C-alpha cells in the first residue's frame, strides 16, 4: 500500500443475521459459533479509491467457560472425606457476612444491659432538662433505676433494633474493610499503616451511613418513655420531626466511628502480624489482640460518642459538635465527656473481641478450605494426566 493507504478491520453486530448455505460449521449443544451475531468486513481506503470486500470466509471457536475449572472438581466422595473443602463452594463474601451477623448479634445481646446503662448515663442531662438535671447519674444508680422502673426486661429494652442493625452493620463493615485494604495497597502490594487506618476509617463510615437510622431508633426506644415498638417511634419521628430526624447526629457519628474503627482494626492487624507465626494461628492470640485494640480505640474516641448520643436526643440544645463539646464541659467538666465510659468499656471489650476474633477465624477457615479444595483439584489433574499418558 501507499503511504496514504490503510486497511480497516471492522466488526459489526447483526442480531438478525442468518446462517449461510455455504458456511461450514461444527458445533456442539453448548458451543455456539461467533458468526451467528457478527459480521466481518475489510475496507481499503486510499486517495484514489474507496471500496470493500464482501466475500469472506471465517472460522469461529467458542470456549466452554461453563465447564472450565469443573473438570477436576472434587467428587462427592472426596468432599465427604475432606469436608473442609465444601466451604470453598460458599462465596467468600457470603461466609464473612454470615459470620459477622451471627457474632455481632450474639455479642450485642450478651452486652445489651451494659449498653442500656451507658446510654442512660450519657443522656441523663438532656432527658431531665438543662436547668433541673442532676449533674450525673452513677453506674450503680442506673442499674437500680432500670430494675426498679422496668424490671428485668428493661435491661434489654431497645436490643431488637440493635440486633437488626448489627447484621448489616457488621457485614458491611468487615467486607468494606477488606475491600478498602486492597484499594489502599501500594504499588509493591504492601499495605502501610496509613493505608490500614484509612481502610478502617472508610469501612466505619460506610457501615454507619447504611445503618444510621436504625441506630437512632434504638436510642430513642432505649431512653425515651412511652414507646413500646420500633415502628411506633419511627412513625412518630416521621410525623413530628420529618425524615431528617433519622440522621440527627450523623456528623459526629462519622467523626467518632471513623477514628475508632481505624485505630481498632489497625492495631489488631499490626499486633497480630507482629506475633510469631505459631501464635498467629491461635484463637487465644486473636482474642487477646482484639481486647487490646478495642481498649485503646475506646479510650481514644469515647468523647465523640457522648457528643453523638446527646445530639441524637429529641429537644437537644446542641447544633454542632463544637457546641455540644463546650456545653457538656461547661455543665459537667471534662469528666462529662466520659460519662458511661465504664459500662461502655465493659460492653465494647467483649463485643469487639468476639467480632474480630470470629472474623479472623472465618478468614483462616476460608483460606484453609480453598487450600484443601486446590489440593484435591491438583490430585485429580495428576490422575487424569497419568491416565492420558498411559
| Mean pLDDT of all residues belonging to the chain | 76
Cα gap 109→375, rounded to integer Å:
40
Among the ranges 21-35, 102-116, 221-235, 291-305, which has the highest mean pLDDT value? 291-305
Whole-model pTM?
Answer: 0.60
CA neighbor of 210 nearest in space, from 263, 257, 242: 257
- pLDDT for res 203: 93
Torsion of CA 214, 216, 220, 222, to 10 degrees: 60
- pLDDT for res 255: 79
- pLDDT for res 68: 43
Cα gap 355→203, rounded to integer Å:
15
Cα gap 44→56, rounded to integer Å:
15
> Would you say the C-alpha torsion 283, 285, 288, 293 has a positive or negative sign?
negative
Report pLDDT digits (tens) over 282-322: 888 888 899 889 888 888 888 888 887 788 777 778 878 88
Q: Which three three-digit cell numbers place residue 90?
A: 460458599
DSSP letter at 187 equals T
Q: Which three three-digit cell numbers place residue 308?
A: 453523638
- pLDDT for res 14: 55
- pLDDT for res 53: 46
Torsion of CA 249, 255, 258, 259, to 10 degrees: -140
Q: How confident is the model at residue 197 (pLDDT cuts 50, 70, 90)?
A: very high
Given a contact cutoff of 8 angstroms between Cβ atoms, the answer to whether 193 and 266 are in contact is: yes
The residue-averaged pLDDT of 272-278 equals 87
Report pLDDT digits (tens) over 50-98: 554 444 445 444 444 444 456 678 888 888 888 888 888 888 778 777 7
Amino acid at each position: 500500500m501507499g503511504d496514504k493507504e490503510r486497511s480497516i478491520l471492522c466488526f459489526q453486530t447483526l442480531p438478525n443475521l442468518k446462517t449461510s448455505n455455504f458456511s461450514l460449521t461444527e458445533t456442539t449443544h453448548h458451543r455456539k459459533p461467533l458468526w451467528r451475531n457478527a459480521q466481518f468486513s475489510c475496507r481499503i481506503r486510499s486517495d484514489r479509491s474507496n471500496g470493500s470486500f464482501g466475500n469472506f470466509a471465517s472460522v469461529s471457536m467458542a470456549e466452554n467457560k461453563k465447564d472450565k475449572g469443573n473438570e477436576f472438581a472434587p467428587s462427592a466422595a472426596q468432599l465427604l472425606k475432606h469436608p473442609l473443602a465444601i466451604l470453598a463452594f460458599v462465596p467468600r463474601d457470603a461466609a464473612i457476612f454470615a459470620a459477622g451477623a451471627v457474632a455481632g448479634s450474639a455479642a450485642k445481646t450478651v452486652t445489651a444491659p451494659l449498653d442500656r446503662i451507658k446510654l442512660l448515663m450519657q443522656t441523663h442531662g438532656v432527658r431531665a432538662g438543662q436547668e433541673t438535671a442532676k449533674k450525673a447519674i452513677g453506674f450503680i444508680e442506673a442499674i437500680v433505676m432500670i430494675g426498679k422502673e422496668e424490671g428485668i426486661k428493661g435491661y434489654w429494652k431497645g436490643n431488637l433494633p440493635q440486633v437488626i442493625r448489627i447484621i448489616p452493620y457488621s457485614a458491611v463493615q468487615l467486607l468494606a474493610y477488606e475491600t478498602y485494604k486492597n484499594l489502599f495497597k501500594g504499588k509493591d502490594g504492601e499495605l502501610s499503616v496509613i493505608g490500614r487506618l484509612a481502610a478502617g476509617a472508610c469501612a466505619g463510615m460506610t457501615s454507619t451511613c447504611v445503618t444510621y437510622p436504625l441506630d437512632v431508633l434504638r436510642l430513642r426506644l432505649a431512653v425515651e418513655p412511652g414507646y413500646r415498638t420500633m415502628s411506633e417511634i419511627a412513625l412518630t419521628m416521621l410525623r413530628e420531626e420529618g425524615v431528617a430526624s433519622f440522621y440527627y447526629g450523623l456528623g459526629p457519628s462519622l467523626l467518632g466511628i471513623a477514628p475508632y474503627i481505624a485505630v481498632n482494626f489497625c492495631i489488631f492487624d499490626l499486633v497480630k502480624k507482629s506475633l510469631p507465626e505459631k501464635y498467629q494461628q491461635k484463637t487465644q492470640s486473636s482474642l487477646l489482640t482484639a481486647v487490646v485494640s478495642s481498649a485503646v480505640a475506646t479510650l481514644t474516641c469515647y468523647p465523640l460518642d457522648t457528643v453523638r448520643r446527646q445530639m441524637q436526643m429529641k429537644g437537644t440544645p446542641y447544633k454542632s459538635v463544637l457546641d455540644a463539646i463546650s456545653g457538656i464541659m461547661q455543665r459537667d467538666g471534662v469528666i462529662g465527656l466520659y460519662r458511661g465510659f465504664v459500662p461502655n468499656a465493659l460492653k465494647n471489650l467483649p463485643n469487639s473481641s468476639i467480632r474480630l476474633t470470629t472474623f479472623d477465624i472465618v478468614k483462616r477457615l476460608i483460606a484453609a478450605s480453598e487450600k484443601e479444595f486446590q489440593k484435591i483439584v491438583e490430585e485429580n489433574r495428576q490422575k487424569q494426566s497419568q491416565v492420558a499418558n498411559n
